[in-house]
């Protein structure tokens, strides 16, 4: 029986790190990418071997036949048999956890077991799309892994007293003094797990920590007064239709339409004059590329 999804929200905080800490984080992200590709390569290999199995192909044909005939009993029995075959080839989330553990020991100084299991879970999601949706698995290229995360806030990547701890690294975070939303969230909610995110801003690698919090996020307040930023009215609906140049709003009390970015000047007339000027210039410099009726001859390139 699957667990019900609980309400959660995310807080993102910038990490204040030195150059040597950034180098270690970049190295760990690359190790995580390597573990991802190794595990995915194993899963794809096992999936290929499973497809070559005569028993699997036979059960798959039976499943498709039962599905076409709408035989519920036969469909369930065949699906269970296919699951057994899949697990015999090591294609399940927990079997991928066991596989990645063998390789994680080689990098245990940088990647903890909880983080490696989350990497295996990410691989399993990709494998599920291959198994049940017919998608294609994609490997991560160099520098293309942008996040790593833990399983809880008790081991691995942890956040405690405004500091992130991860395998010997101690990383400070930036929290603005007037950010009441972050302060209320940390005071009133429990952290489920932490996620480290790598972003490239203007060619520079910047790292953030995303705290996945339990529950419903607090209402945002105005820092100077502490009042709610947006008033909440129960059981009232508002419809918004955003167009290319206008926005229409409909509520139970009013209806209005407003132009988007009214301070931006419209230069449509000047654009039309310039386009006509360019067209005249193109036709005068390429007279042999146009027919008598003014249309362009096929297979020619205009200068």
> What is the three-state SS of the chain?
CCCCCCCEEEEEEEEECCHHHHHHHHHHHHHHHHHHHHHHHHHHHHHHHHHHCHHHHHHHHHHHHHHHHCCHHHHHHHHHHHHHHHHHCCCCHHHHHHHHHHHHHHHCCCCCHHHHHHHHHHHHHHHHHHHHHCCCCCCCCCCCCCEEECCCCCCCCEEECCEEEECCEEEEEECCCCCHHHHHHHHHCCEEEEEEEEEEECCEEEEEEEEEEECCCCCCECCCCCCECCCCCCCCCEEEEECCCEEEEEECCCEEEEECCCCCCCCHHHHHHHHHHHHHHHHHHCHHHECCCCCECCCCCCC
Q: What is the pTM of this model?
A: 0.74
Residues 152-206 pLDDT 10s = 999 899 999 999 999 999 999 999 888 888 998 998 999 999 999 999 999 899 9
Residues 252-286 pLDDT 10s = 888 999 888 888 887 889 999 999 999 999 888 88
For the chain, give the percent of residues with pLDDT over 90.
60
Higher pLDDT, 179 or 13: 13
């Amino acid at each position: 029986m699957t667990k019900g999804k609980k309400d959660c929200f995310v807080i993102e905080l910038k990490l204040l790190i030195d150059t040597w800490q950034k180098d270690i984080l970049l190295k760990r992200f690359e190790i995580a990418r390597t573990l991802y590709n190794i595990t995915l390569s194993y899963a794809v290999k096992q999936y290929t071997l499973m497809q070559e199995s005569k028993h699997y192909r036979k059960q798959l044909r039976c499943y498709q036949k039962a599905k076409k005939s709408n035989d519920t009993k036969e469909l369930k029995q065949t699906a269970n048999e296919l699951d057994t075959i899949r697990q015999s080839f090591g294609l399940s989330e927990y079997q991928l956890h066991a596989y990645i553990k063998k390789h994680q020991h080689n990098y245990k100084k940088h990647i903890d077991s909880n983080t490696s299991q989350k990497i295996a879970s990410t691989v399993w999601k990709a494998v599920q799309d291959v198994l049940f949706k017919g998608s294609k698995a994609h490997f991560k290229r160099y520098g293309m892994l942008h996040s790593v995360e833990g399983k809880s806030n008790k081991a691995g990547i942890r956040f405690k007293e405004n500091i992130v701890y991860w395998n010997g690294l101690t990383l400070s975070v930036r929290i603005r003094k007037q950010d009441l939303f972050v302060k209320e969230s940390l005071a009133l909610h429990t952290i489920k797990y932490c996620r480290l995110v790598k972003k490239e801003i203007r060619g520079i690698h910047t790292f953030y920590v995303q705290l996945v919090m339990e529950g419903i996020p607090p209402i945002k307040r105005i820092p100077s007064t502490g009042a709610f930023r947006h008033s909440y009215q129960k059981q009232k609906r508002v419809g918004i239709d955003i167009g290319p140049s206008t926005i229409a709003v409909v509520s139970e009390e009013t209806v209005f339409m407003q132009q988007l970015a009214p301070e931006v000047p419209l230069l449509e007339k000047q654009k039309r004059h310039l386009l006509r000027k360019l067209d005249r210039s193109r036709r005068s410099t390429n007279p042999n590329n146009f027919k008598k009726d003014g249309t362009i001859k096929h297979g020619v390139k205009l200068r």
